[in-house]
């Protein structure tokens, strides 16, 4: 459907009543919707408007059998039906800041710049030779040609009286024209006041209906809204692939245009496209001439005071395919290549930055991150920063209007978030009029359908940035397909170009740990998401150590206390002892005795800041930039509802979640794990010995080494050898779990029958 203007196609569909269509036309609507990328539900919902013929499930069954892009029926089918019923599509508007017309085609020629073409006069005409040239150009020798010579008058006009002749071949007619040199003799007498008619497509010889057409080769373009001279100029300027051009002898030129269709459905589609191009370039074709078996004016025949002259034989592009490719290339609205030599000494100005050092105005940016990174809140923070001309994540933003497209939150939640973010950022809401919020939760559509509506609304306010949050709600196609995602991302280019604004959007990470990946490889789906934007900012969570969190807790609590003091007791720095400033807990103890009038507010701020710090998460933003040099990764604390730049450097040494440790870190961790394992084994031996010695006392058994070994086997179910017991009870062994003392000495019993007196002390060596 050209540029995918689905919303206009749905609008056109509203003008068509399914109850007024025959079965084939109803099917054609479904095939056109399928070809345009709209869902089956659109066809089903429209079909329900005809309850008498609607059958539940029939649309779904038919839909499965429709082809994919075979060109038989397209959106032009629906457009034509709607136009015939009064639909008036918006006129095409081209250029920066203007939305494309729904089928994407633009004017190729400007009739106001064309000069009228000269038509041949009646003098010197050879009717038989002109007709022979016409037939030779259109038909093969063995093909049947239909024509009508008889006419009658109706409402003051002479029109064909019957179906005419439809059994003679082109060779038959050419032979007689050559033999007699006269149309009246070769074809039969006709009324010279009315002229004669001929069919431009070959027939079966059985009749003159559309089903009797054997080759859907040509279509008729006829218009009488402008002069014949201007009609001819436009036909030539459009390079229509004409087999012949005939002066009707009346108000119009008849262009016999090669369409080379395989069947009737393709013929209808190509005629729709042909007429659409003509219509947009100042030539309004008569829609009654669409039939492939239609009659056209016979060249060489006399019509009153004029002659139906053969103006031209084959001209324009040689085939439909070449012409259509030329139309697409000519009407693509792409700029011509520029010579570098012409611009070298007069370089155009670069677009000004929207986010200093990151993104220019009119460019695209993607913010990627995992779930719960606060991406939506980060984008709301960006909205506020642009509206107020403030900083975002430490980058200064240009001030201007911004449109936030909310696809995920209900309207109330979204608006409350804006208020909360303003408060958390400490921004004064002086320029709220710079922010427009478009709430589309529950109403989102694929991006190719959303883009035209977005452009129309954005053109009313001219924002310098459009923020779309999140894109998974509007993705069209498989996010892992590079080709489909390239088409999807092209919609952002369209918005940026037509509105003249930056487009900023967010996307989620793929599953699994992201620390081991490059920042540009973390976004879910195709690599197009990394390559398409001019700036890619990626958020990864950091593993926060206990020491780092305690430091953050202390700093946050003290900052909250300072905020209260600055507002309520601006003289406080002169009163609080220097050794108390900077340590929140110490200050709170001092404040209880020296600032009792503020203690309630200080307590509330201290507690709230501490709670926020304890639940805060740490994040690192890395960037891949096209227009600016790379930047040092920035570290942030995310304390709902806002992100705060870490200006202390506390997060600089932390690693992203899932990032593999360095070799040195692995060695340190290995040693730490080994030490921990030895420590655990020692403690377990201590427990076993204590339990065994206690059991010996309870049973009144003298705790010799042999007795303790037997008690361990009975209690723990484990066998301890004499050598092991000897090692466990050696005071000189640093790793020994038990050091036994008797009478305050370190002497141990060395024989099996000597007791192991235990004074309750046990230490790990």
Contact 285, 275 (CB under 8 A): yes
Q: What average pLDDT is seen over the chain?
A: 83
Write out pLDDT tens, residues 222-239. Answer: 998 899 999 999 999 999
How far, in Å, CA of 97 to CA of 703, rounded?
Answer: 96
The predicted structure's pLDDT at residue 209: 92
Closest of 692, 685, 686 to residue 712, by C-alpha: 692
Average pLDDT over residues 496-501: 91
When pLDDT is averaged across residues 253-276 and rounded to a whole number, the result is 93
423-467 confidence digits (pLDDT tens): 999 999 999 999 999 999 988 788 888 888 899 999 999 999 999
What's residue 256's pLDDT?
97
Residue with tokens 């659109």: 42
Most confident listed range (283-297, 383-397, 518-532, 558-572)? 383-397
Helices 23-36/6-13 angle, 10° precision: 160
pLDDT of residue 110: 80
State both tokens at 604: 């509330």
Per-residue pLDDT, 401: 97
For the chain, the C-alpha Rg in angstroms (whole number) is: 43
Residue 760 has pLDDT above 60, yes or no: no
Lowest mean pLDDT among 97-101, 323-327, 363-367, 376-380: 97-101
Closest CA to 362 of 496, 264, 456, 261: 496
Q: Quick: pLDDT tens for 602-635.
A: 888 888 888 888 889 999 999 999 999 999 999 9
C-alpha pair distances (Å), 410 with each of 149, 272, 276, 744: 71, 43, 42, 77
62-82 in b/e form (b: 16+ CB < 10 A) is bbeebeeeeebbbbbbbbbbb
Does pLDDT of 221 surpass 80? yes
User: Percent of the chain scored above 90 by pLDDT?
Assistant: 41
Lowest-confidence region among 185-189, 542-546, 685-689: 685-689
Percent of the chain with pLDDT over 70: 85
Highest mean pLDDT of the ranges 135-139, 456-460, 474-478: 135-139
pLDDT value at 205 more than 90: yes
Overall average pLDDT of the 90-94 stretch: 39
| Least confidently predicted of 500-509, 518-527, 677-686 | 518-527
- Tens-place pLDDT, residues 331-380: 766 677 888 898 898 888 999 999 999 999 999 999 988 888 899 999 99
The pLDDT tens digits of the residues spanning 24-78 come to: 888 888 888 887 777 788 888 888 888 878 888 888 888 887 765 445 577 777 8
Report the pLDDT averaged over residues 301-327.
93
What three-state secondary structure class fits 750?
coil
């Amino acid at each position: 459907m050209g540029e995918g203007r689905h919303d206009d196609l749905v609008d056109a569909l509203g003008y068509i009543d399914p109850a007024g269509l025959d079965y084939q036309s109803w099917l054609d609507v479904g095939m056109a919707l399928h070809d345009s990328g709209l869902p089956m539900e659109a066809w089903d919902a429209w079909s329900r408007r005809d309850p008498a013929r609607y059958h539940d499930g029939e649309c779904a069954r038919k839909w499965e059998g429709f082809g994919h892009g075979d060109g038989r029926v397209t959106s032009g089918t629906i457009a034509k039906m709607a136009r015939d019923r009064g639909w008036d599509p918006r006129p095409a508007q081209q250029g920066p800041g203007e939305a494309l017309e729904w089928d994407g085609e633009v004017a190729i020629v400007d009739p106001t710049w064309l000069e009228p073409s000269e038509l041949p006069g009646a003098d010197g005409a050879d009717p038989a030779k002109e007709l022979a040239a016409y037939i030779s150009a259109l038909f093969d020798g063995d093909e049947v040609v239909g024509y009508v010579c008889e006419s009658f008058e109706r409402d003051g006009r002479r029109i064909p009286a019957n179906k005419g002749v439809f059994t003679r071949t082109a060779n038959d007619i050419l032979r007689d024209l050559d033999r007699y040199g006269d149309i009246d003799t070769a074809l039969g007498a006709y009324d010279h006041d009315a002229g004669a008619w001929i069919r431009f497509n070959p027939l079966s010889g059985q009749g003159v209906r559309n089903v009797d057409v054997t080759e859907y080769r040509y279509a008729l373009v006829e218009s009488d809204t402008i002069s014949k001279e201007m009609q001819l100029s436009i036909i030539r300027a459009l390079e229509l692939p004409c087999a012949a051009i005939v002066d009707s002898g009346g108000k119009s030129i008849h262009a016999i245009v090669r369409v080379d269709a395989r069947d009737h459905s393709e013929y209808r589609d190509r005629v729709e496209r042909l007429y659409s191009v003509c219509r947009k370039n100042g030539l309004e074709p008569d829609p009654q001439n669409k039939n492939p078996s239609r009659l056209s004016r016979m060249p060489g025949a006399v019509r009153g005071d004029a002659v139906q002259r053969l103006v031209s034989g084959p001209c324009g592009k040689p085939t439909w395919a070449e012409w259509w490719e030329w139309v697409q290339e000519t009407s693509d609205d792409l700029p011509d290549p520029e010579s570098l030599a012409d611009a070298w000494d007069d370089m155009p100005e670069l677009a000004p930055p929207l986010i200093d050092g990151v993104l220019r105005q009119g460019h695209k940016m993607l913010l990627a991150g995992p779930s719960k990174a606060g991406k939506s809140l980060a984008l709301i923070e960006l909205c506020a920063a642009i509206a107020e001309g403030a900083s975002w994540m430490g980058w200064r933003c240009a001030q201007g209007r911004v449109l936030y497209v909310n696809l995920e939150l209900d309207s109330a939640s979204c608006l409350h978030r804006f208020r909360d973010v303003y408060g958390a950022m400490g921004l004064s809401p002086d320029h709220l009029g710079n922010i427009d919020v478009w709430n589309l939760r529950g109403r989102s559509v694929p991006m190719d359908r959303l883009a035209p509506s977005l452009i129309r609304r954005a053109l009313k306010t001219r924002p310098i940035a459009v923020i779309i949050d999140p894109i998974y709600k509007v993705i069209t196609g498989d996010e892992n397909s590079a080709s489909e995602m390239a088409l999807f991302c092209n919609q952002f280019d369209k918005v940026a170009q037509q509105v003249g604004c930056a487009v900023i959007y967010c996307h989620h990470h793929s599953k699994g740990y992201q620390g081991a990946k490059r920042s540009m490889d973390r976004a879910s789906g195709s690599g197009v998401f990394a390559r398409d934007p001019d700036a890619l900012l990626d958020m990864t969570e950091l593993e926060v150590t206990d020491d780092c969190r305690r430091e953050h807790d202390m700093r946050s609590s003290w900052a909250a206390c300072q905020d209260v003091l600055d507002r309520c007791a601006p003289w406080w720095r002169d009163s609080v002892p220097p050794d108390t400033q900077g340590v929140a807990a110490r200050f709170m103890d001092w404040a209880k005795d020296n600032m009792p009038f503020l203690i309630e507010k200080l307590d509330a701020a201290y507690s709230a800041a501490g709670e926020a710090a304890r639940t805060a998460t740490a994040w690192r933003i890395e960037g891949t930039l096209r227009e600016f040099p790379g930047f040092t990764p920035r570290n942030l604390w995310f304390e709902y509802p806002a992100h705060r730049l870490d200006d202390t450097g506390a997060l600089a040494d932390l690693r992203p979640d899932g990032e593999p440790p360095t070799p040195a870190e692995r060695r340190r961790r290995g040693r730490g794990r080994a030490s921990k394992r030895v420590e655990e084994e020692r403690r377990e031996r201590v427990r076993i010995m204590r339990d065994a010695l206690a059991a010996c006392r309870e049973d009144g058994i003298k705790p010799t080494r042999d007795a303790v070994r037997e008690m361990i086997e009975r209690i723990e179910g484990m066998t301890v050898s004499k050598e092991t017991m000897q090692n466990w009870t050696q005071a000189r062994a640093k790793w020994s779990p038990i050091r036994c003392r008797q009478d305050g000495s370190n002497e141990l019993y060395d024989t099996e029958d000597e007791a192991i007196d235990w004074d309750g002390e046990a230490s790990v060596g």
